[in-house]
C-alpha cells in the first residue's frame, strides 16, 4: 500500500502555539506578581499555598472532563510521587518569593532539568549527548554566579537561594518521575489529577505551619492571591494542551525559556530592580543551559516513543 509523504497540515504544525503563548503569558505574569499578597498585606506564604492548591481543582476538572481517571496502583503511585514533589516545591517557592527577588529565583528553578538529566544518567544509565552535558555545565556555572552575589534577600541572606535550589531539586525529581509515568502508560490528565489531589493533601501541613487559618486579613489579600495563583494553575493546563498538540522537543524548550524571561522582564520593569553583573550573567547561563537540557531530553523521549511504536 502506498504511503503519503505529504506534509502535515499547517494547523497541526502550529496548533500548539496559542496554548504555549498563553502558558508563557500566564506563568510569566504569575511569577512576577505572586509575592504581592505577602508584600502588600503580610499574607502568610503557607496561605498562598492553600489558595494555589484550591485553584488547581478547576484545570484538573477541565482536563479530566469526559476522560477516564486511572485509580490503579501504578498511576496512583507515580501520580502521588509527582504531585507531592511538585506541591512540596510550591510550598517552598512561596516562602522563597517572600524574601528574595523573582528575577533570581525563577532562573534558578529553571535549572531543574539538570536534576532530571543527572537522575536519568545515574538511575537509568541513559547516555547523555553534548547538549545535555553543555547544559549541565552552564547550570553549574549559573549557580556559582548566583551564589557569589546574593545581596537581594535582605535579612534572609542566603535563605532564598537555598530554598530556590530545593525547589529546583524537587521539580527536577518530579519531571524525572513524570517521564517514567508516561513510559508506564499513565495518561497526562490522570497525572494532572493526582497532582491536584497531592496539592490538596498538603493543605493541612500549610495550616499547621501557620498555627491555624488566618482570619484577620483584608479581603484584598485572598482575592489577589486567588487571581495570581489561578494564573499558575491554568498555565499548567495550557502546558498539557500545548504538549498534546505539538512536539515536546519544541514546546518544552520554548515554554521553559520564555516564561522565566517574561517574569524577569516584568520584575525588573515593574519593581525597578537592577541585577548585578554576576546575577545577569547567571540568569543568561541558567536560561540557555535549561533550554539545551530540555530540548535534548524531550528529543530523546520522542525517539523512544517512535522506537516503541515501531516495536508494537
Written as tens digits, the pLDDT of the chain (312 aa) is 444 444 444 444 567 778 888 988 999 999 889 989 998 999 999 999 999 999 999 999 988 888 899 999 999 999 999 999 999 999 999 999 888 888 888 888 888 877 877 787 777 666 667 776 777 787 777 777 766 665 555 555 678 889 999 999 998 898 888 878 877 888 888 989 999 999 999 999 999 998 888 878 899 999 999 999 999 988 888 877 776 676 665 676 777 777 888 888 888 888 777 777 777 777 787 778 777 776 666 666 555 554 444 444
Cα dist. 64→79, 220, 278 in Å? 14, 31, 44
Contact in structure between 158 and 94 (CB atoms under 8 Å):
no
Question: Is residue 210 within 8 Å of 33, Cβ to Cβ?
Answer: no
pLDDT value of position 310? 46
Whole-angstrom Cα distance, residue 278 to residue 142?
9
Distance CA 121, CA 153 (A): 34
CB 78 within 8 A of CB 181: yes
- C-alpha cell at position 42: 503580610
**CA dist., res. 251 & res. 243, Å (int):** 6
- What's the confidence (pLDDT) of residue 10? 45
CB atoms within 10 A of CB 206: 24
Burial state string for 141-153 with b = 16 or more CB within 10 A and e = fewer than 16: ebbebbeebbebb
Cα–Cα dist 148/139, whole Å: 15
Task: Give the angle subtended at the CA of 17 by the CAs of 132 and 84, to the nearest 5°.
Answer: 55
Q: What angle do CA 44, 48, 49 make, to 5 degrees?
A: 115
pLDDT at 107: 86
Nearest partner of 228 among 39, 18, 17, judged by Cα: 39
For residue 214, CA distances in Å to 12, 143, 195, 205, 289 come to 48, 36, 25, 14, 41
CA distance 98 to 37: 9
How far is residue 9's CA from residue 54's CA, in Å, rounded to a whole number?
A: 39
Q: Which among 169, 33, 173, 28 is positioned nearest to 92, based on CA atoms?
A: 169
Amino acid at each position: 500500500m502506498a504511503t503519503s509523504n505529504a506534509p502535515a497540515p499547517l494547523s497541526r504544525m502550529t496548533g500548539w502555539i496559542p496554548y504555549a503563548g498563553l502558558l508563557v503569558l500566564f506563568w510569566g505574569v504569575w511569577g512576577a506578581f505572586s509575592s504581592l499578597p505577602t508584600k502588600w498585606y503580610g499574607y502568610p506564604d503557607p496561605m498562598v499555598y492553600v489558595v494555589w492548591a484550591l485553584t488547581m481543582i478547576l484545570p484538573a476538572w477541565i482536563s479530566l472532563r469526559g476522560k477516564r481517571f486511572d485509580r490503579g496502583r501504578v498511576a496512583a503511585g507515580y501520580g502521588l510521587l509527582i504531585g507531592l514533589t511538585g506541591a512540596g516545591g510550591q510550598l517552598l517557592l512561596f516562602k522563597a518569593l517572600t524574601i528574595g527577588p523573582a528575577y533570581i529565583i525563577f532562573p534558578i528553578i529553571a535549572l531543574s532539568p539538570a536534576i532530571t538529566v543527572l537522575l536519568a544518567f545515574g538511575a537509568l544509565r541513559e547516555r547523555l549527548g553534548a547538549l545535555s552535558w553543555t547544559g549541565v555545565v552552564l547550570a553549574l556555572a549559573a549557580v556559582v554566579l548566583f551564589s557569589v552575589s546574593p545581596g537581594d534577600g535582605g535579612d534572609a541572606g542566603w535563605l532564598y537561594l537555598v530554598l530556590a535550589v530545593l525547589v529546583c531539586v524537587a521539580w527536577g525529581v518530579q519531571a524525572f518521575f513524570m517521564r517514567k509515568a508516561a513510559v508506564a502508560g499513565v495518561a497526562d490528565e490522570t497525572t494532572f489529577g493526582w497532582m491536584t489531589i497531592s496539592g490538596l493533601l498538603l493543605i493541612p501541613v500549610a495550616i499547621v505551619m501557620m498555627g491555624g487559618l488566618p482570619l484577620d486579613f483584608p479581603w484584598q489579600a485572598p482575592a489577589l492571591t486567588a487571581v495570581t495563583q489561578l494564573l499558575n494553575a491554568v498555565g499548567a493546563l495550557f502546558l498539557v494542551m500545548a504538549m498534546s498538540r505539538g512536539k515536546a522537543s519544541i514546546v518544552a524548550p520554548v515554554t521553559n525559556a520564555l516564561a522565566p524571561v517574561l517574569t524577569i522582564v516584568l520584575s525588573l520593569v515593574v519593581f525597578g530592580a537592577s541585577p548585578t553583573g554576576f546575577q545577569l550573567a547567571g540568569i543568561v547561563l541558567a536560561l540557555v543551559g535549561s533550554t539545551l537540557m530540555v530540548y535534548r531530553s524531550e528529543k530523546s523521549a520522542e525517539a523512544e516513543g517512535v522506537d516503541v511504536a515501531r516495536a508494537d
